[in-house]
Amino acid sequence: MARVLGTSIKRREDPALITGRGKYTDDLKAEGMAHAAIVRSPYAHARIRGIDTSAAEALPGVLAVLTARDVAAAGIPGVVPVGWLLPDLVTPAHPMIAADTVRHVGDAVAVVVAEDRYLARDAADRVAVDYEPLDAVADVVAALEDGAPAVHEEAPGNVAFDWEIGERESVDAAFASAAHTVELDLRNNRLIPHAIEPRAVLASYDSSTGEMTIHMTSQNPHVHRLLMTLASLGMPEHKVRIVAPEVGGGFGSKIHHYADEAIVGLCSMKLDRPVKWTATRTETNLTDAHGRDHSTHCAMALDADGRITGLRVDTAAAMGAYLSTFAPAVPTYLYGTLLSGQYDIPAIHCHVTGVFTHTAPVDAYRGAGRPEATYVVERLMHLAGDATGLGPVEVRRRNFVSPDAFPYQTQVALAYDSGNYGPAMDRALEMIGYDDLKSEQASRRDNGGKQIGIGFSSYIEACGLAPSAVVGSLGAQAGQWESADVRVHPTASVTVYTGSSSHGQGHETTFSQIVADKLGIAPEAVEVIHGDTDLVQFGMGTYGSRSAAVGGSAIVKSVEKIIEKGKKIAAHLLEASAEDLEYEDGNFRVAGSPDRSLGLGDVALQAYLAHNYPDDLEPGLSATSFYDPANFTYPFGTHVCVVEVDTETGSIELLRYAAVDDVGNVINPMIVDGQLHGGLAQGIGQALWENAVYDESGQLVSGSLMDYAVPKIHNLIPFELDRTTTPCPHNPLGVKGVGEAGAIASPAAVVNAVVDALAPFGISHIDMPLTPEKVWRAVNS
Amino acid sequence: MYPAQFDYRRAGSVDEALGLLQEHEDAKLMAGGHSLIPMMKLRLAQPPVVIDIGRLDELKGISEAGGSVRVGSLTTHAEIAASDVLAARCPVLAEAAGHIGDAQVRNRGTIGGNIAHADPGSDIPPVLVLVGASVHLQSPSGTRSVAAGDFFQDLLMTDVGEDEILTHVEAPALGAGTGAAYLKFEHPASGYAVVGAAASVTVQNGRCTAAGLVVGGVSATPTTVDVSSLVGSDLSDDAIAAAASGLDAEDPIGDIFASGDYRVHVGKVYGKRALAAARDRAS
């Protein structure tokens, strides 16, 4: 039978999705369903003096108007918790509905439930909130200044945490004896995730059973159930079912537990009716957890040969008004630990201050900490190439961790399990035609006019967050394993129940390929079930590029258990010893006796009949596994971007983008390429266009798609992709993550290309996004 | 994105639409709905009545009339962009229409709705001013026409009266030896023009006899640049650059993407490039 692993079979999810038959949360209707509209603060910071709900309540068709008072009266915990703790983390309460103070534009102050969503919106406009506006601070640097308005009384100076990793003294020593040093002050721009499907929830409470079913836009239904019941609604976990139907993208924004979903749950409990809420795009932009928003000073020391001797990083990272679910982990353990990049750096120190601001919370967004780290390292490498005279290619090569040095222990906690960085660089240079581009660049520099630049980004990422004991020691209030229940039916078709809940990645296709390959059956014979806490055993969900590496490995573990059990059943039927049996292409065979074999179907049927069956074996043919990996996986690669800069206007045109990625073994090349395309679009978007801008009063001035530029297809160019393959040594598939690679690598590649184009103008840095005006001003200053 | 409550009326004729306008105070006319509906969804506009004129065939279509091209107000951007008549007589209008939004927007949005909304980043207004088009309006008391240069009064404000419907636009055919071009500096989010430069150059017997430049996006209304210095010139790059540098705006538009100063600068650069493209097309 032909191998199905590693082939680009088409996504089984797509026919329904592209013909409009996918059922998303907002498509669902329940008998007696009412609609919620949430009243939100128009101020970034204000005291609530009073709320008059009478005019809203007076509208016919309005069922309820709830405020913080109703949350308190309900006797529920009523808060939105943080799920990752750091030493000395300040954790101010985040009430589901603001009681006396609002802390960002969009903070929920009341909710209206009505018979239809138009009426709910009309009534929401009639809720009169008496605000006393207070001074606000939206900027991460301004929030740290003396006298800045305080976001929380419990957090003096707006500091949420102070965290460091590495050794300051050895870095100081490296700088003291450095032959070359480069340094940079940079901003990593705040981004809004912009999943195409806004967040939505349909909560259906039934007082006759005390049960609640919540359909919602979730990347991790079990985690949402845990947080929802434990911290917000106070319901018993077994009385709540969370279902994630089709989910239209998330990029991290649907990992987090938000106030809104809990508010809608409370509405359903109060009214004993199903209640639906779907965020408008405006609400999405104001309340989805944003990404990035760092201010960083960084410096690198090198010796006379261009070898890095030290790296120093000091970052202020915005947390926003409240600590979102995994927010404290993002600029610390997912950032500081990545600062060694692909390089053998003997001394690294990173200090991070987590900062409260009067803005939407900041949490994991595609890449989560790793794009920020890669940007720091790869911008510095570009400058180091200039400062040493080695250029961007040689300075990187000279510092790559040597292929024989793995496993490689970095100075910032991570131990890279595998890697081979040179070949990816070689291939990228070959694809892009580097020497020809350099001559073209030289002639343009001589002739004036539009300039071209070539930018590199040799990135590393750590994904498939693991193992549980390690992340627990770092503050995670959750495990980082994954579960899989694989059930072989009597007719040998298979259903897989995975804890890894898909929100567009194609798990159903990919996971069916894994099972089909391991069992030697057709992918069509495998059904994949996910995203429902009543159907699926506890699972951790989909984020951090973990589904294939962790979720896929859990499936393999279950399939292995099934094969082992099947061997015992087959051995009994064939009157052989189980040790003598082999499993290949869907058949159990006695080794050395090819005619003594049984198909998977024969064995599966007998497993359920149990008529002629081993005495010491339970009937049935299914297996559940909880797979806790030994380590992260470490994808890497080199990306090269070529741009043309119109120096007269500052406009940037993408000319080429070549990416060589090593994501280990590949299950479905088409899906892997698709993940890279999406990640590249978002990373290039960050570099050139995307920017969440708050004004000084804390208003989000890029709050709509008229001002916030999500990349569109005509803004981009065909990407040139290739791969090297260094399998992950510690998981059974040899796979690594891929979902975030494009977003991690590309911002630095683009910025390095633009800076390279503008080198004749003495420009060494421009902050993202590289809007034409910024580029033009840099050229003319 | 749920609009406030409103009544919907569909007009079966221009006369009926005019009657409905008289009947309902603060009513809004809707053609393709691409400007009005987003405003209503954001509740920035809350008209009590929307009068849908989108199906009035009498306001659709492109035809030649004497030395002009008549474009009905309900003609879509897609139809304008693909029009053979305009390609032959006033290709710069088709060129600009092809820059609007994306294919879906161009299939729905209309020239009448576009110019009645009068967004400063719209692609059509500078072209209409450049070519000396006239805008035709009808009210219960009769019809009138207004020069495009007078039609656009301020940010989102035009000369359309409360009792009037915009029926069509008349654009003079470009004369012999005239080349024209529209160049757009697109906003990466909205797709509107940060700057849109419309230019024309007429060359007769190897000499420039007329030239025009109108820049959109820089100010609330299209900005006409005095490029008369090009008449009689050799249309050299230097002469063109000098002429385009005459762009001036007292109170240029600025936002988080592009400041006023920068818009004026880009207006000069795009003005220069549009003039050069027009020159290359002239003859």
Find chain B residues with C-beta within 8 A of A707's C-beta. Answer: 189-190, 255-257
Q: Does A701 lie at the interface with B, CB-CB under 8 angstroms?
A: yes
| CB-based contacts of A124, cutoff 8 Å, min separation 6 | A37, A38, A39, A56, A110, A112
| CB-based contacts of A165, cutoff 8 Å, min separation 6 | A332, A336, A337, A348, A349, A350, A412, A413
Listed by number, the residues of chain A in 100-129 with a beta carbon closer than 8 Å to a beta carbon of chain B are 117-118, 121-122, 125
Query: Checking DSSP bridges between strand A415-416 and strand A451-460, what pairing results, if any?
Result: unpaired
Q: Count CB atoms within 10 A of the CB of residue A189.
A: 20
CA distance B175 to chain A (A): 32
Q: Any idea where the domains of chain A sit in the sequence?
A: 14-134+196-249+254-287, 294-465+631-779, 481-627
C-alpha–C-alpha distance, residues A26 and A23, integer Å: 8
C-alpha–C-alpha distance, residues A313 and A336, integer Å: 9
Find chain A residues with C-beta within 8 A of B2's C-beta. Answer: 117-118, 121, 280
Q: Does A7 lie at the interface with B, CB-CB under 8 angstroms?
A: no
Q: Do B257 and A648 touch (CB under 8 A)?
A: no
Which CATH code, of 3.30.470.20, 3.40.50.150, 3.30.43.10, 3.10.129.10, is assigned to B7-51?
3.30.43.10
Do residues B223 and B120 make contact, with C-beta atoms less than 8 angstroms apart? no
Q: Any idea where the domains of chain B sit in the sequence?
A: 7-51, 65-172, 178-281
- Furthest CA-CA distance within chain B: 62
Residue among B42, B188, B265 minimizing CB distance to A689:
B188
| CB-based contacts of B12, cutoff 8 Å, min separation 6 | B56
Average pLDDT over residues B116-122: 96
Q: Count CB atoms within 10 A of the CB of residue B67.
A: 10
Strands of the sheet containing A294-302, edge to edge, are: A159-166, A348-356, A308-320, A294-302, A180-188
CA distance B192 to chain A (A): 9
Burial label for B66, CB within 10 Å (0-12, 13-18, 19+), is: exposed
Q: For the structural domain made of A294-465+631-779, what CATH number should be given?
A: 3.30.365.10
pLDDT at A1: 55
Beta bridge partners of A318: A355
Q: Do A776 and B257 touch (CB under 8 A)?
A: no
| CB-based contacts of A150, cutoff 8 Å, min separation 6 | A156, A158
Which residue type does A730 have?
A: H
Torsion sign (Cα): A512, A514, A515, A521: positive
Nearest CA in chain A to B42: A282
Which residue matches tokens 């709830």?
A: A66
Do residues A541 and A219 make contact, with C-beta atoms less than 8 angstroms apart? yes
What SS3 class is residue A109?
A: strand
Find chain A residues with C-beta within 8 A of B184's C-beta. Answer: none
Burial label for A423, CB within 10 Å (0-12, 13-18, 19+), is: middle
Q: Tokens for B17, please give them.
A: 């639409």
Query: Checking DSSP bridges between strand B152-154 and strand B223-225, what pairing results, if any?
Result: unpaired
Go through A108-117 and write b for each residue having 16 or more CB atoms within 10 A of its CB, e for each that does not. Answer: bbbbbbbeeb
Q: Do B257 and A710 touch (CB under 8 A)?
A: no
For residue A156, the number of C-alpha atoms closer than 13 Å in the C-beta half-sphere is 1
Find chain B residues with C-beta within 8 A of A691's C-beta. Answer: 256
Q: Cα A55 vs. chain centroid, distance in angstroms? A: 42
Q: For the structural domain made of A481-627, what CATH number should be given?
A: 3.30.365.10
CA distance B39 to chain A (A): 12
| CB-based contacts of A435, cutoff 8 Å, min separation 6 | none
C-alpha distance from residue A726 to each of A118, A640, A730 (Å): 55, 20, 12
pTM attached to this predicted model: 0.97
Find chain B residues with C-beta within 8 A of A701's C-beta. Answer: 256
Give the model confidence (pLDDT) of B163-195 as tens digits.
999 999 999 999 999 999 999 999 999 999 999
Nearest CA in chain B to A121: B2
pLDDT at B83: 98
Nearest CA in chain A to B102: A714
C-alpha–C-alpha distance, residues A519 and A495, integer Å: 13
Q: Does B87 lie at the interface with A, CB-CB under 8 angstroms?
A: no
- Average pLDDT over chain B, rounded to an integer: 96
Q: Does A694 lie at the interface with B, CB-CB under 8 angstroms?
A: no
Residue among B2, B259, B262 minimizing CB distance to A121:
B2
CA distance B165 to chain A (A): 28
Residue among A648, A702, A705 minimizing CB distance to B256:
A702
Go through B72-91 and write b for each residue having 16 or more CB atoms within 10 A of its CB, e for each that does not. Answer: bbbbbbbbbbebebbeebbb
Superfamily of the domain at A14-134+196-249+254-287: Aldehyde oxidase/xanthine dehydrogenase, a/b hammerhead (3.90.1170.50)
Q: Do B266 and A122 touch (CB under 8 A)?
A: no
Q: Tokens for A594, please give them.
A: 């090819």
pLDDT at A779: 97
Do residues A313 and A336 make contact, with C-beta atoms less than 8 angstroms apart? yes
Which residue type does A528 have?
A: V
CATH class of this structure's domain B178-281: alpha beta
Find chain A residues with C-beta within 8 A of B42's C-beta. Answer: 282, 704
Which residue type does A464 have?
A: G
Q: Does B39 lie at the interface with A, CB-CB under 8 angstroms?
A: no
Which residue matches tokens 């929380």?
A: A152
pLDDT at A2: 65
Give the model confidence (pLDDT) of B67-78 as tens digits.
999 999 999 999
Burial label for A267, CB within 10 Å (0-12, 13-18, 19+), is: buried
Do residues A32 and A274 make contact, with C-beta atoms less than 8 angstroms apart? yes
Same fold, A14-134+196-249+254-287 and A481-627: no
> pLDDT tier at B117 (50, 70, 90 boundaries)?
very high
Classified by CATH at the fold level, domain B65-172 comes out as 3.30.465
Q: Does B44 lie at the interface with A, CB-CB under 8 angstroms?
A: no
Residue among B3, B5, B269 minimizing CB distance to A649:
B269
Phi, psi angle pair for A506, to nearest 5°: 95, 30
Listed by number, the residues of chain B in 154-193 with a beta carbon closer than 8 Å to a beta carbon of chain A are 185, 187-190
Nearest CA in chain B to A690: B189
Find chain B residues with C-beta within 8 A of A125's C-beta. Answer: 43
Average pLDDT by stretches of 10, chain A with 781 residues: 87 96 97 98 98 98 98 97 94 97 98 97 97 98 98 98 97 98 98 97 97 98 96 97 97 97 98 98 97 98 98 98 97 97 98 98 97 98 98 98 97 95 98 97 95 98 87 86 97 97 95 97 97 96 92 97 97 95 95 92 97 95 96 96 98 98 98 98 98 98 95 96 97 96 98 98 97 98 89
Beta bridge partners of A203: A214, A275
Q: Tokens for A96, please give them.
A: 């589901």
C-alpha distance from residue B230 to each of B162, B181, B240, B267 (Å): 41, 16, 7, 18
pLDDT at B198: 98
Q: Do A706 and B189 touch (CB under 8 A)?
A: yes
Strands of the sheet containing B193-204, edge to edge, are: B178-186, B193-204, B207-216, B223-225
